[in-house]
């Protein structure tokens, strides 16, 4: 059985911060659990869109340390527009719908690791909240 386990709320400095630290929310990243973990985006800021048509990220493994940065880059590349390798990566991924860092690791662009490193400082300055999803028991 598959279901969602976490929601990440993404904001940022310079244009995204509100009085309570993250309001308005730019996007949510939902983490799903099944035979493999996956991440998908739900947008609140209509100026954000993914690289190509990417709608799903499958991390290298459950709760992998690179999962969220990879999702932020893929789902909100506008936040990382200062990264030199972003245009080339975006061009190569323009027709992709999924990034699978697990089973299809060999299909991930070699340039992705460089982009991830360039994006790390920006990522570390984003405002990110996480909520664990648990059933409400009455």
Residue ranges per domain, the chain? 3-132
Q: Is the pLDDT of residue 2 over 70?
A: no
Cα 111-118-13 angle, rounded to 5 deg:
135
Report the candidate in 95, 36, 101, 90 with the shortest Cα–Cα distance to residue 67: 101
Whole-number Å distance between alpha carbons of 45 and 26: 5
How confident is the model over 86-92, as a mean pLDDT? 96
Beta bridge partners of 38: 32
Residue 99's pLDDT band (cuts 50, 70, 90): very high
Residue 12's pLDDT band (cuts 50, 70, 90): low
Report the candidate in 102, 76, 54 with the shortest Cα–Cα distance to residue 8: 76
Report the candidate in 58, 3, 76 with the shortest Cα–Cα distance to residue 34: 3
pLDDT of the residue at 1 = 43
pLDDT of the residue at 20 = 62
């Amino acid at each position: 059985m598959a279901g969602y386990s976490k929601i990440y709320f993404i904001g940022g400095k310079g244009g995204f911060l509100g009085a309570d630290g993250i309001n308005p929310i730019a996007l949510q990243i939902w983490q799903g659990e099944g035979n493999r973990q996956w991440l998908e985006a739900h947008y609140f800021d209509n100026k954000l869109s993914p690289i190509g048509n990417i709608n799903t990220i499958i991390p290298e493994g459950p709760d992998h340390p690179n999962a969220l940065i990879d999702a932020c880059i893929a789902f909100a590349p506008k936040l990382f527009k200062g990264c030199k390798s972003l245009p080339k990566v975006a061009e190569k991924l323009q027709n992709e719908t999924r990034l699978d860092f697990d089973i299809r690791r060999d299909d991930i662009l070699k340039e992705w690791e460089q982009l991830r490193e360039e994006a790390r400082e920006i990522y570390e300055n984003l405002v990110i909240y996480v909520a664990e999803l648990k059933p409400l028991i009455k």
